[in-house]
Structure 1
Amino acid sequence: MKTSTAALAAAAIVAIGLGAAWFSISRNESSDIFAQCRSSVVAGGAGQIGGPFTLTDENGKQVTDKDVITEPSLLYFGYTYCPDVCPLDNARNAEATELLEKRGYSVTPIFISVDSARDTPELLKEFTDIMDPKMIGLTGTPEQIKQVSKEYRTYYHVQDPGDPYTLIDHSTQSYLVFPDIGFVEYFNRDTPPKEMADRIGCFVDAWKGAKSGN
């Protein structure tokens, strides 16, 4: 993916939005069950980022967020034609969830395509199966993709809509979400798999503890 002025500006907008969410939640840290898992770069909070969506899964079935996010999940927005960033980022996410599985945690990696023109369910299934058999691929209409991107404050821009080989500028954060809670954390693309697994494990432990009343 080429770096462009528009992409850099969009990244700044995403960072501002995430920072605003962090400020909001930091004021209520005493009631934040995930406070011990957060770091100085953490941004998030239920109700600030994320929201309901309706998309089409890699099997061609229409699904909602409640159908897909049934356990701790790691969301990434990208596209299958992406020459470098998306494969690397999704491979990292898959490695992190595999590390977590070895530790007894179950986390689902989810890939949401921002390329509704080219990413058919069949292509998504091929992509996700290569990355991780557990990974779920989602696509949708341009309007549906725009809506879910807005909910998660992500950015994408098709460089040349008339070119079948066009590249798409897009943000590269991965989002940790929980059933009934929603968004709790994001990870930048330079976060190593082990560090991501360690931090996600902390969030899952806090979530389970809150559910059990401990």
Structure 2
Amino acid sequence: MTLLSRSGLAAVGVLLAPLAGAADDAEGTSGHGGHGGHDYAPPALSELGGAIDMVDQSGLPFTEENFLGHYSLVYAGYMECLEACPLGVGTVQAAAAALSASGLETEAVFIDIRAPRLDDMTGGMHGHDKDHASMMKPGAAGMPKTGPEIRREALGEWAEEKGGSLRVLSGTRKQVRGTVQAFMVRAEANMARNAEAGPRLNHTTHVYLIGPDGAVKDLFYHDTPLDEMVAGVEAAAAKG
């Protein structure tokens, strides 16, 4: 996938570092259908993860240490996505719920990769969603809210609409860039606009399985069937 320049990505509210093509890891790539019919090779599991610094929809800090002690199914995309993200997020939520109900504690996590500028009073939403106009009111101590704060509140509402079982991570451009690099998310701006969602971001659609030790154990895709995703997590847990 060809990535746009930094200036091109800035136009849609996110800065992502170009990533070199990642080859298959002979010792540990997703065993779920090879590339799953996708035209890009999955990165090596050993290359994924590391230090991150984000906030969740409640405004609480979220770092790599928040992954410890349980399994996490992590999907990276953006709130306005109307194609891959709704399917991926729905499957991740359903899988996490089924696994937790069976006694294997699993959290569904969504990383929002569209990071607005600090002075972007639309929160990177480009004014397409009038329901979030109330978020323009002052924040703490009467100070204006920043673009990331406005977007975080919108993400909180979005998560509630999905049942409230989804941990949604967002942040400043610097924070999002660091997380995108840690998980080798590839993205490119598509300036074709959608009346509802604004400019599009084409992005990779991996679902990362993170184990209780904080390491990435396996990869799925947004369109991996629910039963296959659940079975994959169970298989990873059986290996310890």
Shorter-chain TM-score range: 0.7 to 0.9
Residues 133-187 of structure 1 show CA distances to partners (whole Å, capped at 9, x for unaligned) of 2310001111221121111111122334999821111111100012334111100
Name the structure 2 match of 1:138.
169
Residues 188-210 of structure 1 show CA distances to partners (whole Å, capped at 9, x for unaligned) of 22310011101111112322xxx
1:41 maps to a residue whose letter is: G
1:147 to 2:178 alignment: yes
Name the structure 1 match of 2:22.
17
2:94 maps to a residue whose letter is: E
Percent identity, please. 21
Mapped partners of 1:97, 1:178: distance in 2: 13
Name the structure 2 match of 1:168.
201
Name the structure 2 match of 1:86.
85
1:68 deviates by 4.6
Count residues with an aligned counterpart: 186
The secondary structure found in structure 1 opposite 2:198 is coil
Residue correspondence of structure 1 range 89-128 to structure 2 within 5 A: 89-117=88-116, 118=124, 120-128=151-159
Mapped partners of 2:181, 2:64: distance in 1: 15
Change (3 A) 1:77 1:182: same
Are the aligned partners of 1:44 and 1:184 in contact in 2 as well (CA < 8 Å)? no
Give the TM-score of the pair, scaled to structure 2.
0.67
Question: What 5-or-longer segments of structure 2 have no aligned partner?
Answer: 4-17, 36-41, 117-123, 125-147
Give the TM-score of the pair, scaled to structure 1.
0.74
1:204 maps to a residue whose letter is: A
Give the aligned CA root-mean-square deviation in angstroms.
3.2
Change (3 A) 1:162 1:94: closer
More helix by share: 1
Name the structure 2 match of 1:10.
none
Question: What 5-or-longer segments of structure 1 have no aligned partner?
Answer: 8-12, 27-34, 208-214
2:166 maps to a residue whose letter is: M
Residues 99-142 of structure 1 show CA distances to partners (whole Å, capped at 9, x for unaligned) of 22332221101000001122711122222233342310001111
Are the aligned partners of 2:79 and 2:112 in contact in 1 as well (CA < 8 Å)? yes
Change (3 A) 1:45 1:155: closer
1:56 maps to a residue whose letter is: V
Change (3 A) 1:39 1:112: closer
Residue correspondence of structure 1 range 24-103 to structure 2 within 5 A: 25=27, 38=31, 41=34, 47-103=46-102
The secondary structure found in structure 2 opposite 1:180 is coil
Name the structure 2 match of 1:179.
212
Are the aligned partners of 1:99 and 1:194 in contact in 2 as well (CA < 8 Å)? no
